[in-house]
Amino acid sequence: MAYVIEQLINGLAVGSVYALIAVGYSMVYSILYLINFAHGDVITFGAFTALTMLVIGVPIPVALFLACVLGAALGMTVERIAYRPVRYANRIVPMISALGAGLVIASTAQAIWGPEVHAFPQVIPRWSFELFGQLIPFQPLIIIAIAVVLVAIATVLLDYTRLGRATKCVCQDIHAAQLMGIPINTIVPLVYAIGGFLGVAGAILYVTYFNAVYIQMGLLATFKAWSAAMLGGVGNFHGAFVGGLLLGIAEAFSVVVVGSAFKDGVSLVFIVLILLLKPDGLFGERTTARS
Amino acid sequence: MTGLFNATMPRRTHIMALAAGCILAATMAYAQDDSGPIYFAVASPLTGGSAAYGINAQRGGDLAVEAINAAGGIGGREVVLEYFDDMGTPRESAAVANRIVRDDKFCAVIGHVNSSSTLAAMPIYNEAGISVLNGSSSNPSITEQGWDNIIRMTIRGDRGAQQYSAFAINNLGHDELAIFYVNSDFGRALRDDMVAAVDALGAKVVGEETFTPNVDRDFSAQISSLRRGNPDVIMLNTDYNEGGLFLGQAQDRDFAGIDVVGPDSNLYDQFIELSQGAAEGAYLLAAFDPFADREAVKTFMSDFEEAYDSLPSQVAIFTHDLLWLAKKAIEDEGATCDTLIDTAKSINFSGAGGDYAWDEKGDVSGRTFAVIKVVDGQFVSTGQGVDETGLEALR
């Protein structure tokens, strides 16, 4: 039993990291029906920036907050440069321009920080404590808590503010929203900014928990987060969060049940099964794609 | 069309140039037979994913040739190395092997590095009868095919697995082992041989977990699972990135007091850095001891450091030692290029990487791993050897 709880904590911790990154994808998708291919590279850049600031001695909270803000700014820049000029073009066009933007960001990061895996300072200490005779690691719990708080704040922002309501209008019909006087060129960049902010927060938790920051993490995070978003229902904010948690738990328990050689395979089979039963994801609503 | 400039060249010039080329080539081939330079082909991956090996082969080779030529070459003849890029792939390795044997000027081949490359190229070398001096290919089957024209420097994979196990069981006195291994040819073979060796030595494997290389970076689920078996020692069959990350991630999981034993694929500074202090006390078993207190090693290490400002890997030191072995066999033991392998099998050789002797198959015999330990965040040589008691049954 204690072992099952420990694995549940493992799964929830890595799942909340996936979830934070997935939320960013899902928000952008819900507005423009486009996968933001630059997201993974934006969050990698944010994580490396956090590393550099910590190394030169910027206080931890300041460094982490600034890195998240940089993620938001980068997200907005990507929107301005790679998406807005081609917003109404064929869907292939923004996909390619976003891939290009991602490539530029990733290459810049590689030019600055090199291709090696770097250790990340432990901003959340790796303590553990005993509970009912079971050793409970402290760091995963904090990671879960931070993820929940960040998503709660984003929920309030989206559900109870004018900004949130405007965002929902844009989601429903971008053209009608524009005609109703909603400043879409403010709302859309803000969505990218929130996605970038949460994404870098997720990336910092990711590198803290895995204890490593490296260039290819963007690709891996994209893959995991996109799986999580599919699982929860693409375009659904809370669905992406729950999807991330479930993906993490599925990974941890595939080690328990089938063995670690099949960890990635099993979790993907799990996703395929759910999508077979619910093609729009767990919380997805049946939608028809706009052309 | 301006590209056809050759059309203005008289046809006879072509034929004369061709003839001159043939004569020149024939003269060179003749010259190498007695007093001209002596050529060696060094085959290694200079591009592609394992290019770091090839660069090390090149550096080790260049360093050795410089010193050998300064000391009068081999039997008074200048040594010349030609490097071939096998890209670390079997297909390219076979192509490289064909180029080497067709050239007919090489005394011997030094290479390849990756086992799959060596396995692909060997049938071609064997048919041509050219001597192959191999440094780092550890796949056991290389010396099990009946090829009589190869020796290798590194300890073969299955004996490596036996020695890691013997070190944990005999030297450290543990009897409950957990294995964490990379899910690749290298990792799975090591795991299989290790399970057999642990069984033969009367100990027990109480847990094993694996991971997909370059994809998995989160080992928390595997760590919890391994911890559950209450092992005395973790066998870390990984490379330095994953090995370091594993230990770093395990430090809040009650792993204090569990020993760590790993192969020299972990012997890089990043291993210590990524573990964030958790690698302290870990044992790494290395095919050669870069930190040994021996004059030959110290000289090699400082020359290498001076020339390239980096630490040599085993590929560098084996390439270096193989050239000195060729010098010794030809100069002191009267070997020719054709009898190089037979001569090497009959002698003992001492190089920068330690002492070597070879058995009938071409495997190094009587050589055990050097035991390196992480102390105060640094790799240090313990000077210990591996206690091989009980392994006889497996050989």
A131 Cα to chain B: minimum distance (Å): 14
A69: which DSSP letter? H
State the average pLDDT over residues B142-158. 93
A286 Cα to chain B: minimum distance (Å): 33
Confidence of residue B45 (pLDDT cuts 50, 70, 90): very high
Confidence of residue B11 (pLDDT cuts 50, 70, 90): low
Residue numbers in chain A where pLDDT is lower than 70? 285-291
Q: Which residues of A touch B274 (CB under 8 A)?
A: 117, 119, 211-212
Contact B225 A260 (CB under 8 A): yes
d(CA B286, CA A171): 59
pLDDT of residue A135: 80
pLDDT of residue B2 exceeding 70, the answer is: no
Q: Strand, coil or helix: what is A283?
A: coil
Return the HEC string of chain B.
Answer: CCCCHHHHCCHHHHHHHHHHHHHHHHHHHHHHHCCCCEEEEEEECCCCCCHHHHHHHHHHHHHHHHHHHHCCCECCECEEEEEEECCCCHHHHHHHHHHHHHHCCEEEEEECCCHHHHHHHHHHHHHHCCEEEECCCCCHHHHHCCCCCEEECCCCHHHHHHHHHHHHHHHCCCCEEEEEEECCHHHHHHHHHHHHHHHHCCCEEEEEEEECCCCCCCCHHHHHHHHHCCCCEEEEECCHHHHHHHHHHHCCCCCCCCEEEEEHHHCCHHHHHHHCCCCCCCEEEECCCCCCCCHHHHHHHHHHHHHHCCCCCHHHHHHHHHHHHHHHHHHCCCCCCCCHHHHHHHCEEEECCEEEEECCCCCECCCCCEEEEEECCEEEECCCCCCCCCCHHHC
| Closest by Cα among B331, B395, B326 to B131 | B326
What percentage of residues in chain B have a pLDDT greater than 90? 68
pLDDT of residue B9: 45
Q: Which residues of A touch B244 (CB under 8 A)?
A: 119
pLDDT of residue B30 exceeding 50, the answer is: no
pLDDT of residue B67 exceeding 50, the answer is: yes
Q: CATH says B32-154+293-357 is which class? A: alpha beta
> In chain A, how many H helices and how many E strands?
11, 4
pLDDT of residue B19: 57
Give Cα separations from A82 to A18, A98, A291 (angstroms). Answer: 25, 6, 19
Confidence of residue B385 (pLDDT cuts 50, 70, 90): confident
Contact A220 B224 (CB under 8 A): no
CB A251 within 8 A of CB A14: yes
pLDDT in tens, A193-248: 999 999 999 999 999 998 889 988 888 888 888 888 888 887 788 889 999 999 99
pLDDT of residue A291: 42
Domains B32-154+293-357 and B158-286+369-394 share a fold: yes
Query: Does B241 contact chain A (CB < 8 Å)?
Result: yes
pLDDT of residue B6: 44
Interface probe, candidates B220, B239, B266, chain A, greatest A C-beta count within 10 A: B220
d(CA B164, CA B263): 7
Q: Which helix (H) or strand (E) holds A128?
A: strand A128-131
Q: Strand, coil or helix: what is A278?
A: coil
Interface size A-B, in CB pairs within 8 Å, comes to 86
pLDDT of residue B208 exceeding 90, the answer is: yes
State the average pLDDT over residues B246-268. 90
**Complex-level ipTM:** 0.87
Architecture in CATH of B158-286+369-394: 3-Layer(aba) Sandwich (3.40)
Q: Which residues of A touch B273 (CB under 8 A)?
A: 119
Give the A-side interface with B, CB within 8 Å.
3, 6-7, 10-11, 13-14, 116-117, 119, 122, 126-128, 135, 137-140, 209-212, 216-217, 220, 251-253, 255-256, 259-261, 263-264
pLDDT of residue B16: 56
pLDDT of residue B176 exceeding 60, the answer is: yes
Contact A10 B214 (CB under 8 A): no
* A139, A210, A259: residue with CB nearest B218: A210
The residue with greater pLDDT, B44 or B216, is B44
pLDDT in tens, B219-245: 999 999 999 999 999 999 998 889 999
State the average pLDDT over residues B32-48. 85
pLDDT of residue B216: 84
pLDDT of residue A173: 87
pLDDT of residue B17: 55
Interface of B with A in 209-238 (CB under 8 A): 209-212, 214-218, 220-222, 224-225, 228
Concatenated DSSP letters of A215-233? TTHHHHHHHHHHHHHHHH-
What percentage of residues in chain B have a pLDDT greater than 70? 91
| Closest by Cα among B273, B305, B267, B302 to B286 | B267
Answer whether CATH 3.30.390 is correct for domain A2-114+143-277. Answer: no
Domain borders along chain B are 32-154+293-357, 158-286+369-394
The residue with greater pLDDT, B139 or B176, is B176
pLDDT of residue B179 exceeding 70, the answer is: yes
Q: Which of A276-290, B72-86, B244-258, B319-333 has the lowest mean pLDDT?
A: A276-290
